Amino acid sequence: MKPSKTLIYDGSFNGFLTSVFVAFDEKINVADIQKNGQGQNGLFSDTETIFTNVDKAKRVWNGIRSKSYNAITNIYFAFLSEEEGIELLLYTYIQKLMAAKKGKEMDYSDGFVLKISQLARSVGREKHRMEAFVRFQLTKDNIYFANIEPDFDVLPLISKHFRNRYADQQWLIYDVKRRYGIYYDLEGVEIVSLDLNEIYFNRTRKSKVFAEKEYDYQELWNDYFKSTHIKSRINRKLHTQHVPKRYWKYLSEKKEAV
């Protein structure tokens, strides 16, 4: 048997797909696929560094998609979960998928398929939540700015939603945890990495960065939120189930509660 190898890639989705291509192409016995700098190479396996190649990545992408559209979204979403060991999990899933007859990936009674689809579903849920819970604040430079801090790396997934919705205003959504953002400049969306020296929670202290009337609207929204509930029907458990506490610090309607 061929000795097993650990593939090291740059952490991007294209990099991962390139690794899959190389593994298939060179019939490598894959021990693991790891992000550059994670440094947990197996003791008994060689490592090989994979250089991201968009053409190779595309071929894998198209190959999977021609098998199943559903699988390709599941794979992409699950990848963004950043779960430890996700690469090897996905690699095995792709192997199974490629070997299987059409429609196989829909077999929800297969534990493997289930795991991937569960991960994808969690990421999908957070994507959806971010589309709901982004709160823009208008800066003096006329940019609508929002911080988010999602569990999964969902920025790539929400870009289209916001581009379609806010076509006539400049906006920037910044992922505090991963230190990068997406910026729309009225023409298109680009990825920007920047280090903010201040993180704008919705604390009550005002920041000079934002437009004067910004705080008026936050207050109006906060007030509005308070007047929406019906006292005799309060159900806090249900409330926090829908709006998990970890999101609160960026929600303007939750200012006092944080």
Interface residues toward other proteins, by CB under 8 A: 103-104, 106-109, 111, 114, 128, 131-138, 144, 146, 164-169, 186, 213, 216-217, 219-221, 223-225, 227-230, 232-239, 241-243, 251-253
Lookup: tokens for 182: 């997406």
Q: How far is the CB of 24 from other proteins (least distance, A)?
A: 25
Instruction: Name which of 191 and 238 has its Cβ closer to other proteins.
Output: 238
Q: How far is the CB of 243 from other proteins (least distance, A)?
A: 5
Helix (H, G, I), strand (E, B) or coil at 82: coil
Give the angle subtended at the CA of 195 by the CAs of 192 and 197, to the nearest 5°.
Answer: 140
Q: How far apart are CA 74 and CA 120, in angstroms?
A: 5
Q: How far is the CB of 110 from other proteins (least distance, A)?
A: 9
Instruction: Name which of 199 and 220 has its Cβ closer to other proteins.
Output: 220
Query: How deeply is 7 buried, as exposed, middle or buried, from its count of CB atoms within 10 A (0-12, 13-18, 19+)?
Result: buried
Q: How far is the CB of 78 from other proteins (least distance, A)?
A: 18
Q: How far apart are CA 67 and CA 254, in angstroms?
A: 45
* Residue carrying the six token digits 């190779």: 56
* Residue carrying the six token digits 């201040």: 198
Q: How far apart are CA 232 and CA 109, in angstroms?
A: 44
Instruction: Name which of 165 and 206 has its Cβ closer to other proteins.
Output: 165
Q: How far is the CB of 91 from other proteins (least distance, A)?
A: 23
Q: How far apart are CA 159 and CA 172, in angstroms?
A: 10
Instruction: Name which of 51 and 69 has its Cβ closer to other proteins.
Output: 69
